[in-house]
Amino acid sequence: MMAILRRALWLVLIVAAVGAVTWRPPALAEAQAQSGAAVRTAPAGHRVGATPGKKGATDYWLESQTTRLTAKYNDGTTAVAGRGTDGNFETKLSDRAGGDVGRFTVNRAAADGGTDTVLHYAARSGEALYAYGEANVRPTLAWANTQAYSLSKDGGPAAASGFEWRNGLMRRRGAGARDVEQQLAELHTEWSGGLSVRTARGSAVNLQWNDRRSLNGELLVSRLVRDGVQIGEANWFAKEQVLIWNIPGVTAGSLTAEQMKTYGGWPFKPDAEWLNLQTLAFYHFKTAKDRQGAVAARTPPPSRTRQVLDLLVAPVQANEPGCDGLHWLDGTVLRFCCDVHDRCYEKYGCSSRSWWQFWSSWTCDLCNAGAVFCFAGGGNGKGPFHPFPF
Amino acid sequence: MIRWTSVLVGGAAFTVAHLVQTLVWQTWFHGSYDPWFLNSGRAVVFTVALLVVAGAIVSAADWRESIVRGANAAAGALAAMIIILAVVGPGNLFPIVIAFGAVIAVTSTGAGALAGWGMHRTMKT
């Protein structure tokens, strides 16, 4: 009798353990599709795959790889935004002569025990503005530059009338409308892996394209550079709503408003920030795909052993910025080890499988060994055997 | 040397900690990534607290075996940790994550076991 009870207790514990780790809160569970429900088809011309005006996770991931963003405005003002290792931003504003105009910082660390973003603008005059971020605004380097420029043009922190949130920007109460994007003359995105893109504003006059149509009007010209050498170009014709890109040896093509009609048109208003990230995305994703190969064409069917191992270790290959599974260390010196490991994985197309399938890639093994060595050395970059870790 | 009750208590303590974190990940733990105790400093503190309590409980049951029972509780917590990590997604640093988790589990349950042993001695005298 006791043996039966003991066995029953074991079964209950195992079921409870499996149920516990796969359990999701009710709100999430309700979102799951119910079986038997009719499939809702999207008609042609209906927007799919994106929420208009809202950026997606891919866009934010691409943005997160930007190390420095330099914006030059028509009035000679330059805004340089940089990302710190702690995830915070700082924008330095300077005038045409190079003189300091102001500094704007975005501190995303927890404030007063909460998770508010704290914004700080300090003008050259010494006046400062402290404010909490708006819940609907997700700060990016481009946003920080735009916000800093806008605050300086609104008269800085000394505005007696106070400030208000307008279209995602802090504005002086009563200030007139301003389209900062139109005042942007050039935007330079410095990305990871020695890549950078510089977009400048221009105009096209009867530019012949495809022997069929001529392109006119406002033009954004984006040049992709790797290690100081131009490797590609992308052009956005705002009036014609045409995007043309050419990265020799990697990808070339075009997208027109007519082609986008199937998807309900362009789901957002393309600007210089988007063009820079899009050009980087063309290069990054195409080269990554070429390096790893088409999954269907080159990957052999998984062996039975592999299938069993996949069941035991979920094949998650997603790579989050920072220390995956150890994000409480993101603000510490160990973040360096994680970033180096992430870049190594990205460069050689590794995944978490490379830890236990060590025979599959020696380069991935080196990435992993480097990470262990770095962690063991406390993030000093010299490993555990250096006599002077700091 | 295997004390199954201690193993189960350690595993249950870690599983309960994970469940609570999944429930109130945003509000209590201010989590930005997936619910997992090493993704938030507050979640680390919460898990450590539960494992210390688990270590103290198993140790108090028989103070002469405090360390053995504490080690068994740590093994249970570590087993639960590895299973949960495999289910939620191991990430690209998972062996290092497990190493960190093991250090935390052993330290926490060990501290709890010592506390349980100390309490028992104090009450006895």
Say which range, A3-7, A185-189, A349-353, B73-77, has the weakest mean pLDDT.
Answer: A3-7
Find chain B residues with C-beta within 8 A of A110's C-beta: 30
The closest of A300, A93, A340, A53 to A192, measured between CA atoms, is A340
Residue that wins the pLDDT comparison between A372 and A15:
A372
Say which range, A107-111, A319-323, A342-346, B105-109, has the weakest mean pLDDT.
Answer: A107-111
Q: Do B93 and A319 touch (CB under 8 A)?
A: no
Residue type at position A290: D
Find chain B residues with C-beta within 8 A of A319's C-beta: 92
Q: Do A21 and B94 touch (CB under 8 A)?
A: no
Which residue on chain B is closest to A26 by alpha carbon? B23
Q: Do B86 and A326 touch (CB under 8 A)?
A: no
ipTM of the complex: 0.86
Find chain A residues with C-beta within 8 A of B41's C-beta: 328
Q: Do B97 and A345 touch (CB under 8 A)?
A: no
Residue that wins the pLDDT comparison between B122 and A366:
A366
Find chain A residues with C-beta within 8 A of B32's C-beta: 327
Find chain B residues with C-beta within 8 A of A352's C-beta: 90-92, 94
How confident is the prediction for chain B on average, in pLDDT? 89
Q: What is the DSSP string of A46-79?
A: S--SS-TT---HHHHHHHHT--EEEEEETTS-EE
Q: Do B33 and A110 touch (CB under 8 A)?
A: no
Residue that wins the pLDDT comparison between B3 and A45:
B3
- Is residue B69 a contact partner of residue B20, using CB atoms and an 8 Å limit? no
Query: Half-sphere exposure of residue B9, counting CA atoms within 13 Å on the CB side?
Result: 25
Q: Which residue out of A327, A338, A345 would a mutagenesis test of the B interface target, given it has the greatest number of B Cβ atoms within 10 Å? A: A327
Q: Do A352 and B19 touch (CB under 8 A)?
A: no
Find the chain B residues whose C-beta atoms sit closer than 8 A to any C-beta of A: 8, 11, 15, 18-19, 22-23, 30, 32-33, 36, 38-41, 43-44, 80, 83-97, 100
- Is residue A247 a contact partner of residue A224, using CB atoms and an 8 Å limit? yes
- Is residue B44 a contact partner of residue B22, using CB atoms and an 8 Å limit? no
CA distance B53 to chain A (A): 20
Q: Do A21 and B83 touch (CB under 8 A)?
A: yes
Q: What is the DSSP string of A243-260?
A: EEEEETTTEEEEE-HHHH
CA distance A185 to chain B (A): 35
- Is residue A72 a contact partner of residue A78, using CB atoms and an 8 Å limit? yes
What residues form DSSP beta bridges with A235? A221, A244
pLDDT in tens, A47-81: 444 444 456 677 778 888 888 999 999 999 999 99
How confident is the prediction for chain A on average, in pLDDT? 74
pLDDT of residue A9: 44
pLDDT above 50 for A178: yes
**What is the sign, positive or negative, of the torsion defined by CA atoms of A344, A348, A353, A354?**
negative
Find chain B residues with C-beta within 8 A of A22's C-beta: 87
Find chain A residues with C-beta within 8 A of B87's C-beta: 21-22, 314
Residue type at position B77: A
Say which range, A55-64, A91-100, A345-354, B70-79, has the weakest mean pLDDT.
Answer: A55-64
Q: Do A23 and B44 touch (CB under 8 A)?
A: no
Q: Do B44 and A313 touch (CB under 8 A)?
A: no
Of B85, B89, B93, the CB nearest to A323: B93
pLDDT above 80 for A109: no
CA distance A191 to chain B (A): 22
In the 3-class helix/strand/coil scheme, how is chain B assigned residue by residue?
Answer: CCCHHHHHHHHHHHHHHHHHHHHCCCCCCCCCCCCCHHHCHHHHHHHHHHHHHHHHHHHHHCHHHHHHHHHHHHHHHHHHHHHHHHHHCCCCCHHHHHHHHHHHHHHHHHHHHHHHHHHHHHHHC
Find chain B residues with C-beta within 8 A of A19's C-beta: none
- Is residue A195 a contact partner of residue A276, using CB atoms and an 8 Å limit? no
pLDDT of residue A46: 43
Find chain A residues with C-beta within 8 A of B93's C-beta: 323-326, 338, 341, 371
Average pLDDT, integer, range A136-144? 87
Average pLDDT, integer, range A91-96? 91
pLDDT of residue A318: 45
Contacts A–B by Cβ distance under 8 A? 91
pLDDT above 70 for A152: yes
Of B8, B92, B94, the CB nearest to A345: B92
Q: Do B8 and A13 touch (CB under 8 A)?
A: yes
CA distance B6 to chain A (A): 14
- As to burial, measured by CB atoms within 10 angstroms (0-12 exposed, 13-18 middle, 19+ buried), residue A346 is middle
Q: Which residues make Cβ contacts (< 8 Å) with residue A51, sequence separation at least 6?
A: A267
Of B84, B94, B100, the CB nearest to A352: B94
